[in-house]
């Protein structure tokens, strides 16, 4: 699509209008290094305007019926579907996600809106038997209030709708600070929400290159009742501390370091195929991409052969091309980090069994890399690489596999490959992770709760669990 066909907004979206800001920042296409757009650079003033708008709109939006909110969301679904190719191409230009994956993400993002448009009608209360004959105990649901959301660049659309859809279903208003790198996706959604008939002030987008300036205003504002964040554990912790000062509800989807366990009774070909999807999705830049592949010693060679055969077939290239599997990393910092992790592992004795050749493309590309002989003293085995780097280790037995998998402060996603049903229960019981894929390398879906244990976060997104995060429960004691 030409730039004219992509037609995206670049101004901030506040109280139902696209508005200019004093400054703009350049959004760079990571595949070409070219400026894609000059985007509104919001500061304190816009953050305050957004808070006022979200507060005022909440007073009426919370009184709408679930059926009214659901109808607007259904229209939004149709508009997302009608604009899916445009949204996918915007995303690919912003962050370098291969176009076939961007199309998949638009579907995934739409799925959240569709699911919560239906679930809005099923926000139930409860009556609880009282111990007094003259009393009735009622529990009612109410929206939490205006929400401040901060989303990551690696899923420019889905990480918004995973928060926005339950918030709208519940009756909350919403302010999003999208990542500077993928702000256009958020603004394009604002246009569609406006077209869908969402009342002014229910949704605002405040792009910025000065995240903490905007965040500090909104986190200090007592009218904002919830923070929903996806990003690093470090930043999430700082935000949660600030949110605590005005006692906001908090959902945090933070970093991960996903183990991928392949037991000797697994279907090795299937395990290798799922490891590919899991590891190399979005060039390894997802929170639930495996960072550590552990294979039982007896099947190490068979697994490695099956895995390397597939790695050799990956096409690294321009993300807009239909057959590209691996696009660029999002920025120079991301590329440098992945290279540092590889260098550290090689220095400490790992072997590079794929990835020796430099990529043909200039710029932020990295050849998919497989490392063997990895140990837990290497950075790659402890910190999120966020790149196409697959470290492979071995284990002797089930107890060792579980101990290695749990040897991390994180607890977002883990993967288990086995054909033994009893082992499935034993291992999933023992793993300290919020999401476990059993013979499944890509478990994410709108109906299921996504979120982590330990340093990987607080709360869940998706499914009916995700809706509760945007609801207060009021206990009403009625004396007859
Ligand atoms: C993430 O990387 O945070 C999201 C991944 C997913 O939804 O599958």
**Separation of 413 CA from ligand 1 center, angstroms?**
10
CA angle 178-448-469, nearest 5°? 60
Q: Are 236 and 457 in contact (CB under 8 A)?
A: yes
Give the tokens for residue 353.
């069994």
**Is 46 among the catalytic positions?**
no
* pLDDT on residue 360: 86
Pocket of ligand 1 (CB under 6 A): 154-155, 230, 253, 286-288, 444
* pLDDT on residue 7: 86
Give the CA dihedral 271, 275, 281, 283, nearest 10 degrees: -150
Q: How far apart are CA 265 and CA 451, in angstroms?
A: 29
- Mode of pairing for the β-strands spanning 290-296 and 258-262: parallel
Q: Which of 286, 289, 459, 462 is the pocket-test mutation for ligand 1 (most atoms within 8 Å of CB)?
A: 286
Place of tokens 């920025």: 331
Q: Are 162 and 450 in contact (CB under 8 A)?
A: yes
* pLDDT on residue 4: 79
**Separation of 306 CA from ligand 1 center, angstroms?**
26
* pLDDT on residue 147: 99
> Of residues 119, 287, 384, 468, which has the active-site annotation?
287
Integer Rg of the chain from CA: 23
* pLDDT on residue 377: 97
Q: How far apart are CA 338 and CA 368, in angstroms?
A: 11
φ, ψ of residue 152 to 5 degrees: the values are: -95, 165
**Separation of 452 CA from ligand 1 center, angstroms?**
11
Q: How far apart are CA 336 and CA 55, in angstroms?
A: 42
Which residues are within 8 A (CB) of 362 and not within 5 positions of it... i.e. 6 or more apart? none
Q: pLDDT digit of tens for each residue in the chain (480 aa)?
A: 877 788 899 999 999 999 999 999 999 999 999 999 999 999 999 999 999 999 999 999 999 999 999 999 999 999 999 999 999 999 999 999 999 999 999 999 999 999 999 999 999 999 999 999 999 999 999 999 999 999 999 999 999 999 999 999 999 999 999 999 999 999 999 999 999 999 999 999 999 999 999 999 999 999 999 999 999 999 999 999 999 999 999 999 999 999 999 999 999 999 999 999 999 999 999 999 999 999 999 999 999 999 999 999 999 999 999 999 999 999 999 999 999 999 999 999 999 999 999 888 888 999 999 999 999 999 999 999 999 999 999 999 999 999 999 999 999 999 999 999 999 999 999 999 999 999 999 999 999 999 999 999 999 999 999 999 999 999 999 999
User: Quick one: DSSP state of residue 83?
Assistant: T
* pLDDT on residue 8: 94
Q: Are 160 and 186 in contact (CB under 8 A)?
A: yes
Q: Which of 112, 155, 283 is the pocket-test mutation for ligand 1 (most atoms within 8 Å of CB)?
A: 155
* pLDDT on residue 224: 98
Within 10 A of 302 (CB to CB), how many other CB atoms are there?
Answer: 16
> Of residues 253, 384, 468, 469, which has the active-site annotation?
253
Q: How far apart are CA 160 and CA 186, in angstroms?
A: 8
**Is 253 among the catalytic positions?**
yes
**Separation of 289 CA from ligand 1 center, angstroms?**
8
Q: How far apart are CA 147 and CA 164, in angstroms?
A: 9
* pLDDT on residue 2: 77
* pLDDT on residue 166: 98
Residue owning the nearest CA to atom 8 of ligand 1? 444
**Whether this model's pTM surpasses 0.95:** yes
Strand ranges (DSSP E) for 78-134? 126-128
Strand ranges (DSSP E) for 1-155? 12-14, 17-19, 23-28, 35-41, 126-128, 135-143, 147-150
Distances (CA, A) of 365 to 177, 326, 334: 28, 8, 10
Q: How far apart are CA 380 and CA 476, in angstroms?
A: 52
In the chain the domains, ranked by start, together with CATH numbers, are 3-254+456-479 (3.40.605.10), 258-445 (3.40.309.10)
* pLDDT on residue 34: 94
Q: How far apart are CA 164 and CA 178, in angstroms?
A: 12
């Amino acid at each position: 699509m030409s730039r004219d066909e992509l037609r995206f907004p670049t101004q901030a979206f506040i109280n139902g209008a696209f508005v200019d800001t004093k400054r703009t920042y350049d959004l760079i296409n990571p595949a070409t290094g070219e400026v894609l757009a000059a985007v509104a650079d919001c500061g304190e003033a816009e953050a305050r305007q957004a808070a006022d708008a979200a507060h005022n709109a909440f007073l009426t939006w919370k009184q709408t019926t679930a059926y009214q909110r659901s109808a607007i969301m259904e229209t939004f679904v149709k508009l997302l579907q009608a604009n899916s190719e445009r949204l996918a191409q915007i995303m690919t230009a912003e962050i370098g996600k291969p176009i076939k994956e961007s199309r998949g993400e638009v579907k995934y993002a739409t799925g959240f809106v569709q699911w919560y448009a239906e679930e809005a009608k099923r926000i139930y209360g409860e009556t609880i038997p009282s111990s007094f004959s003259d009393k009735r105990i009622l529990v009612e649901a109410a929206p939490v209030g205006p929400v401040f959301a901060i989303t990551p660049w690696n899923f420019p659309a889905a990480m918004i709708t995973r928060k926005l859809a339950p918030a709208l279903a519940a009756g909350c208003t919403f302010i999003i600070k999208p990542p500077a790198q993928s702000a256009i996706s958020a603004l394009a959604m604002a246009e569609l929400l406006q077209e869908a008939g969402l009342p002014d002030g229910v949704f605002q987008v405040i792009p910025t290159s000065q995240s903490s300036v905007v965040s500090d205003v909104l986190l200090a504002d007592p009218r904002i009742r919830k923070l929903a964040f996806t990003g690093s554990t470090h930043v999430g912790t700082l935000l949660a501390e600030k949110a605590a000062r005005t006692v906001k509800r908090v959902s945090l989807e933070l970093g991960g370091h996903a183990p991928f366990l392949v037991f000797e009774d697994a279907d090795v070909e299937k395990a290798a195929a799922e490891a590919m999807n899991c590891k190399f999705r979005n060039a390894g830049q997802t929170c639930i991409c495996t960072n550590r592949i552990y294979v039982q010693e007896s099947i190490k060679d068979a697994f490695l052969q099956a895995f390397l055969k597939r790695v050799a077939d990956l096409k690294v290239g321009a993300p807009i091309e239909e057959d590209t599997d691996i696009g660029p990393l999002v920025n120079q910092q991301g590329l440098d980090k992945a290279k540092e992790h590889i260098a550290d592992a090689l220095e400490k004795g790992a072997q590079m069994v794929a990835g020796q050749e430099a990529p043909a493309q200039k710029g932020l590309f990295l050849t998919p890399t497989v490392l063997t002989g990895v140990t837990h003293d290497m950075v790659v085995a402890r910190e999120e690489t966020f790149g196409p780097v697959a470290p492979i280790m071995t284990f002797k037995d089930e107890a060792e596999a579980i101990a290695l998998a749990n040897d991390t402060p994180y607890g977002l996603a883990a993967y288990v490959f086995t054909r033994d049903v009893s082992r499935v229960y034993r291992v999933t019981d023992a793993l300290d992770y919020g999401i476990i894929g059993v013979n499944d390398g890509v478990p994410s879906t709108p109906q299921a709760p996504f979120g982590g244990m330990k340093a990987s976060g607080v709360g869940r997104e998706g499914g009916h669990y995700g809706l509760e995060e945007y609801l207060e429960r009021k206990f009403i004691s009625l004396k007859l």
